[in-house]
Chain A
Amino acid sequence: MVVHSLFTKSIRDMRKSKVQFISIFIMAVLSVTIVTGLDSMWKTIGEQTDIMYAASEISDMWVNISNPSEKELWSISRTKGVELAEKRFVINALTGLEGRPTLKIYTISRSSRLDRPIIQQGGLKSRGGAIIDSSFAKEHGLKINDTIELKVNGRWTGFKIEGLAMSSEHIYSVKGTTTIIPDPQKYGFIIISEDMLKSIYGQKIYNQVCIKLSAGADAAAVEAEIDKVLGDNLIGIVKRGEDSSTNNVWSNISQFRTLAAIFPLMFFIVTALITQSTMLRLVENQRGQIGILKALGYTKGRILWHYTSYGMYMGLLGAIVGLLLGPNLFGRVLIPWLKLTLADDRILVNYTNFIFSLILILICTGGISLYACLRLLRDSPSMLLRDKPPKEGKHIFLEALPKLWNRMRFSRKLIARNTLRNKLRMAMSIIGITGCTGLVVAALTLTVMVNGIAGHAYETTYKYDQKILLDEKVDSRFIRNIRLDGTVTQIAETAAAVISPDGSRTMKMLSVFPQDSPLIRLTDMDGNLVRLAEDGITITRKLAETLKVKAGDSIQIKRTDGSYVYAPIRQIIYMATGQGIFMTDEYYESMGETFKPTAILVKWNNKPDRAFLQSDNVDEYVDRVSQMKDVKASTRVVYIAAVLLIFMGGILAFVVLYNSSMLNFSERIRDLTTLKVLGFYQKEIRSLVLTENILSVISGSILGVPVGKVIADIIARGLDDQMDLVSRISFQTVAVSGAITLVFALIINGIAARKMKNIDMLESLKSVE
């Protein structure tokens, strides 16, 4: 019965300060939603991909090789640290489907154990059959027993679809240079039998060795050894984590881990501050009641629990709602935007961190309530039953500056003293507004950055109409001789093995083209035009960061003959997307190589040359405009993220400002009534209360800008390995974020002002509360 009546009391008390308790609840929900939401993202991606990696027995490294001999393969498998080595053939092939999408062909043999497809339906049954990418199949309406035409070794061959599968190498499925975001309409994979390939080429053919390392093996040593063994037959080694799929997965995981670790902090602090100010006031208003309870003989512990429970209920309730909301809101809404092909659509929850955030939120709510109550409980019941001594006025530091102080109006002095008396509340408002502005700045910066990618790549850098990928048989002289009607730049794009000064080996994109191509305008970080150096290479900023090099350093690049040459880095350029190494055709030849274009960039004088485009000299062609459109379409995820960020910012601003103005108002209602009676106008009284909000909005908005930059940077860094997003806080961004924050603040001030309008002069003057 006793517990029951106290419980009833707490429910009624909470109902009386509805708004404050709803605020605590909302903040608790928000904090836990963000933690569990972000956690569920990396947890889901991490676990799902781990399952896929394990199911397919993904390799630790892939060795790209040209025409390996049996002896070489044998030596690879005998290298110390290699547990298993398997050979296969991998090549991109055009399909006969509409829009000429590309499929990456992988061969498989009966004995293959590494990089197995994760079969969803059917399986490879006959020699001429194929297992096809299930996302690709779905997008193109392909079913088992359909036939798909592929152009392999220069001829069109039909394959019967016998199975649908996913691949752990195609979780994030991008072709490479022309696209940056997966699009199953344009790209996928297909798995065919080794024997079928043999009959297409007339001989057994391989170009890749998949390697599984034995436990505890030193990958770098294995790489060096393989490099030595294969010599000029080695094209390059790609380690797991470096290929586009595993790399993207990994960076997504680490991005959301970082965000989950730092992002919610702000929300927890605000929750604690709101609870603190609410409970402190509630407990102080209930001095008398605490005295009565004590006088009635309630134990200290019971009274403490009674008040602590206020915060506990809110924290617990908020955490549960957050647990329900977070994974659904973030996981279900955002994960599909990451364009990962995952085994299923389960969203996993990181319960460890949920428990951790639950404890944290209970400290922020219950713990803070306990603290507020403990301070009062020290007094004896008789002291508590007496009226609260009036709050003392205090001189503040501003008065030490008589010049400034004496010139201030009294209402200003009043505001200054009040604000400084409630430092914690001011801190709450400022942190809240800092958070709000930070989130809005991050959202806008991110949008600007990502929107800038397409423009920088396909408007600033590239000026061609079409990029035409050439057939293997086409060489430089052939292009010159056919005299296309337009400006033509020949470009060779290949993956090359490089060794950075610290000895690490990677495969990087190498782009070779003439120095003065009018169709490619490279720029540095500040947007100044950069000409390719004649006596060295030019690399992109993000690549320089990955390789840990700077202008003036040299890296080793592997030549076709297998030997490495040192190439000095002459300059660093900025590319929003497509990181790599750039050099002139002349420098390339001076390295002892032959310049053979893989593609041409063309700006047509008149209409595109249809005959040429349709000829078998051309593998594929793409319009710059449509490339740009694709990038823009594929980066739309950022808008969802931006809306989410702004939404959270709005809630944050709303909760803290509404709370602080209501607390401010109810604490000072007597003063305000006096002022009203003295003849202060409504707007003068309003300004007394709301100026504090304006002050916190201004300081919070300023502090929020760097916070926003940090958030934007973390999100941008994790977006994609190929994208180099540099957050530049522009004046517009700051202005717009300031304006948005201000709009939030004005709305709240409006609502608070309306509440304030109905001060009952007669009632509140009557007696001391």
Chain B
Amino acid sequence: MDFIRFENVEREYHVGGHVIKAVDGISFGIRKGTVNVVLGQSGAGKTTVLNLIGGMDSPTKGRIIVDGQEISSMSEYELTTFRRNKIGFVFQFYNLVPNLTVLENVQLAKEICSDPLDSKEMLIKVGLEHRLDNFPSQISGGEQQRVSIARALAKNPQIVLCDEPTGALDSVTGRKVLRLICDAAYSMGKTVIIVTHNAMIAHMADTVIHMKDGKIAGIEYNDEQMDAEAIVW
């Protein structure tokens, strides 16, 4: 039984009178507790897939089922509730609230969900126990991304969505961040979906979904995942 299932999902955008099919009738399934990479060139529709899973966007056609719930037919309010309780996000540009300290940024997520984990513990887990009272502007990019991961995990979500999590980081820091995400996912049983254009990252995933022009070009299953820190790019 797939934890996340796409059935003939289509997403159209109207841009200046043109209709663009960002996602063009795709179907696939993702199992619970796995690490998945959606791979593709820019414009392939991978971010749209991520947004659709996260309930930030709704398909124009088809069904999306997450954990037995059909999110494709949910209202705006239901989608917000869904995000609140089930989804953790890690963004390319971290998106920390500049006016809150590191600890507060993590606690912020905790404030709104039903079953949060301890914020401090999460920050210790990502190795930031000495940065609790700093503001985002006072720490490095890698550290900010770690805060962002801690924030995503503190919500205790079932799914962690990462949009180019290493896009703004150097390779050493990027690897560390990826490792952190994977370790956390396995140890806590989270389902992780990473969207990237970096083919190297694919080696660390259980499943790799290749996308091209809004369609699925192929799905690979890795039996042997490479350690994140061994990836070279």
Chain A: residues with CB nearer than 8 A to chain B?
389-394, 409-411, 413-414, 417-418, 421, 670-671, 673-682, 684, 761-762, 765, 767-768
Contacts and interface: CB of A to CB of B under 8 A. Distances in A.
Given A390-B98, A390-B137, A410-B104, 6 more contacts: A393-B137, A413-B104, A681-B81, A682-B76, A682-B80, A765-B91
A414 B97 contact: yes
A220 B100 CA distance: 74
B100 A679 contact: no
A669 to B, nearest CB: 12
Contacts of A670: 95
Interface string B56-67: 110000000000
B98 A393 contact: yes
B111 A409 contact: yes
14 contacts: A410-B111, A414-B100, A671-B97, A674-B97, A678-B84, A679-B81, A681-B80, A682-B76, A682-B80, A762-B51, A762-B56, A762-B57, A765-B93, A767-B93
Contacts of A762: 51, 56-57
B6 interface: no
A417 B77 CA distance: 28
B180 interface: no
Label chain A's interface by main secondary structure. Answer: helix
A354 B46 CA distance: 63
Interface string B172-183: 000000000000
B84 A411 contact: no
B112 interface: yes
Contact of A410 (B57, B80, B87, B107): B107
B113 interface: yes
Given A410-B107, A671-B97, A762-B51, A391 B137 contact: yes
Given A410-B104, A413-B104, A681 B77 contact: yes
B214 interface: no
A417 to B, nearest CB: 4
B83 A392 contact: no
B111 A390 contact: no
B187 interface: no
B95 A674 contact: yes
Contacts of A393: 98-101, 135-137
Contacts of B57: 761-762
Contacts of B76: 682
Given A390-B137, A671-B98, A762-B56, A679 B85 contact: yes
Contact of B99 (A417, A679, A682): A417
Nearest to B110: A410
Given A393-B101, A410-B108, A679 B80 contact: yes
Interface in B100-126: 100-101, 104, 107-109, 111-113
A670 B136 CA distance: 14
A680 B99 contact: no
Contacts, number: 94
Given A392-B135, A410-B108, A417 B100 contact: yes
B54 A410 contact: no
A768 B135 CA distance: 18
A417 B99 CA distance: 7
A400 to B, nearest CB: 13
Nearest to A415: B99
A414 B90 CA distance: 21
Interface in B138-165: 138, 151, 155
A393 B111 CA distance: 20
A684 B151 CA distance: 19
Contacts of B138: 392
A680 B80 contact: yes
A765 B83 CA distance: 16
A679 B111 contact: no
Q: Which 5 A-B pairs have the closest CB atoms?
A: A679-B84, A393-B135, A679-B83, A674-B95, A417-B99
Between B54, B82, B99, the greatest number of chain A beta carbons within 10 A of the residue's beta carbon is seen for B99
B137 A389 contact: yes
Given A392-B98, A414-B99, A417-B99, A678 B51 contact: no
Given A393-B137, A677-B83, A679-B113, A421 B100 contact: no
A675 B56 CA distance: 12
A389 B137 CA distance: 9
A758 to B, nearest CB: 11
Given A410-B107, A414-B97, A765-B91, A679 B56 contact: no
Nearest to A768: B93
Given A410-B108, A682-B80, A677 B99 contact: no
A765 B100 contact: no
A470 to B, nearest CB: 81
Contacts of B95: 670, 673-674, 677, 765
A676 B56 CA distance: 9
Nearest to A679: B84
Given A393-B135, A393-B137, A410-B108, A678 B83 contact: yes
Q: For B51, B80, B89, which residue has the most chain A Cβ atoms within 10 angstroms?
A: B80
A391 B93 contact: no
A663 to B, nearest CB: 15
A671 B82 CA distance: 20
A682 B83 CA distance: 13
Among B51, B56, B91, B97, which residue has the most Cβ atoms of chain A within 10 A?
B97
Given A414-B99, A762-B51, A762-B57, A678 B108 contact: yes
A393 B104 CA distance: 12
Contacts of B56: 677, 761-762
A680 to B, nearest CB: 6
A392 B137 contact: yes
B89 A678 contact: yes
Contacts of A394: 135
Contacts of B108: 410-411, 414, 675, 678
A680 B111 CA distance: 10
Contacts of A678: 83-84, 89, 108-109, 112, 151, 155
Contacts of A411: 108, 111
B29 to A, nearest CB: 24
A674 B93 CA distance: 11
Contacts of A413: 100, 104
A408 to B, nearest CB: 10
Contact of B89 (A389, A391, A417, A677): A677
Interface in B13-49: none
B83 to A, nearest CB: 4
Contacts of A389: 137
Contacts of B97: 414, 671, 674-675
A417 B108 CA distance: 14
A671 B81 contact: no
A676 B82 CA distance: 12
A391 B54 contact: no
- Which of A421, A678, A765 has the most chain B CB atoms closer than 10 A to its own CB? A678
A27 to B, nearest CB: 29
A583 to B, nearest CB: 72
B16 to A, nearest CB: 15
Contacts of B93: 765, 767-768
A582 to B, nearest CB: 67
A765 B82 CA distance: 19
Nearest to A416: B99
Contacts of A673: 95
B185 to A, nearest CB: 19
Contacts of B84: 678-681
Contacts of B104: 410, 413
Given A414-B100, A671-B99, A679 B87 contact: yes
A399 to B, nearest CB: 10
A418 B89 CA distance: 24
B81 to A, nearest CB: 7
Nearest to A418: B99
Contacts of A414: 97, 99-100, 108
Contact of A390 (B85, B112, B136): B136
Contacts of B100: 393, 410, 413-414, 417
